[in-house]
Structure 1
């Protein structure tokens, strides 16, 4: 749960991938469940970082002004769902995510 919620908190101060990376490094070896959620969150945060840069660049051709807010809502909804699922002890896989870390 900390990997998902922490990504929202750290996104305001730094990259959103810091919290899931810290959870993965500190608690990933202790629990396979924690590791799966931390890796899933880390993959989503890496994708979010790349897409945010792409959408920000697309603002120069005005498309980014539509895509960035829509993606912001998608991001928030997915992180909230993942947080609820993790707190209930359920598995969750973020949609539309390229999984770079396994």
Structure 2
């Protein structure tokens, strides 16, 4: 098994592209609820993963990225003891925001997006 993007055999339907986009954008629930950045993509993916292979692929990718972001944030909080955690947490937050927006736009265009620097716990 490789980390190559799983390209669907045809262009996903408009509805599949929208649900894939929602998988990515559901991470913004983290701005409202604690752990919403994990729960949002998880819930959307679990509900719609059987709808279309593209939604399943992008849902897993979104969830893997949010798991990685959460782990990076925990490390940043621990590093706040030595001050470096404050700027690192800002950097992680800005990167997560930008990459999530890019991923949602790409998914809505029907392109399979792969986040950089992501630990892919879900295969």
* Cα drift, residue 84 of structure 1: 0.4
Taking the aligned partners of 1:14 and 1:85, their CA distance within structure 2 comes to 27
Residue correspondences, number: 101
Residue of structure 1 in register with 2:99 after alignment: 78
RMSD in angstroms over aligned alpha carbons?
0.8
C-alpha distance in 1 between matches for 2:93 and 2:46: 27
2:80 to 40, 48, 59: 59
Which structure has the larger Rg over C-alpha atoms? 2
1:19 equivalent to 2:43? Answer: no
Gaps of 5+ in 1: none
Quote the offset at 1:94 in angstroms.
0.5
1:2 aligns with 2:22: yes
User: Which contiguous aligned blocks of 4+ residues in structure 1 show a shift greater than 6 angstroms?
Assistant: none
Matches within 5 A, 1:78-97: 78-97=99-118
Separation of aligned partners in 1, 2:46 and 2:100: 20
Q: Which runs of 5+ in 2 are unaligned?
A: 1-20
Shift in Å, 1:95: 0.4
Q: Corresponding residue for 1:31? A: 52
